[in-house]
Amino acid sequence: MLSISRALHEKIVEHARKDHPDEACGVIAGPVGSDQPVRFIPMQNAERSPTFYRFDSLEQLRVWREMDDNDEEAVVIYHSHTATQAYPSRTDISYASEPQAHYVLVSTRDEAQTEFRSYRIIDGEVTEEPVTVTE
């Protein structure tokens, strides 16, 4: 289950809407082992593409080092799909390499409503999980 504050939920949705039609991506860091998303870190999509995303490699190094210094880990890794459903694609699954992370997928294909779903992706297996938005 993903438990996430309304404020963080909205930040993800806003980021996805702002970058549409390019895919938006980012991380929410939290204390190691806490499973609590705390610190919102929007990332550049180095691909700047409507169908692909990739963290800029040097930005990723900076953020990963920062998390390590802060005893944090990536609790949420999010990205948006701009014309397809909010479900992990084949490439999403093959590149998922943070087993502790909640992979949040947002779809901005419909202007009126944003789909927001969360998954665990471990050893190539996708399991959808419920999302609880806390106040």
Rg (the chain; Cα; Å):
14
User: Contact region for other proteins (CB under 8 A) — 11-19, 21-29, 112-120, 125-133?
Assistant: 21-29
Binding to other proteins (CB under 8 A) within 43-102 occurs at 43, 47, 49-55, 57-58, 60-61, 64, 77, 79, 81-84, 88-92, 95-100
Q: Residue 91: which H helix or E strand, with range? A: helix 90-95
Nearest approach in angstroms of CB 135 to other proteins is: 30
Q: Residue 15: which H helix or E strand, with range? A: helix 6-19
Binder among 4, 12, 15, 23 for other proteins (CB under 8 A): 23
Cα–Cα distance measured from residue 50 to residue 22, given in angstroms and rounded to the nearest whole number: 4
User: DSSP code of 77?
Assistant: E
Nearest approach in angstroms of CB 14 to other proteins is: 20
Q: Determine the size of the site formed for other proteins (CB under 8 A).
A: 34
Cα–Cα distance measured from residue 132 to residue 134, given in angstroms and rounded to the nearest whole number: 6
Q: Which is nearer to other proteins, 2 or 107 (CB)?
A: 107
Q: Which of 101, 97, 90 is nearest to 2 (CA)?
A: 101
- Which residues are registered as beta bridge partners of 110? 113
- Amino acid identity at 28: I
Nearest approach in angstroms of CB 6 to other proteins is: 25
Residue 33 touching other proteins (CB under 8 A):
no
Contacting residues toward other proteins, per CB under 8 A: 23, 25, 27, 43, 47, 49-55, 57-58, 60-61, 64, 77, 79, 81-84, 88-92, 95-100
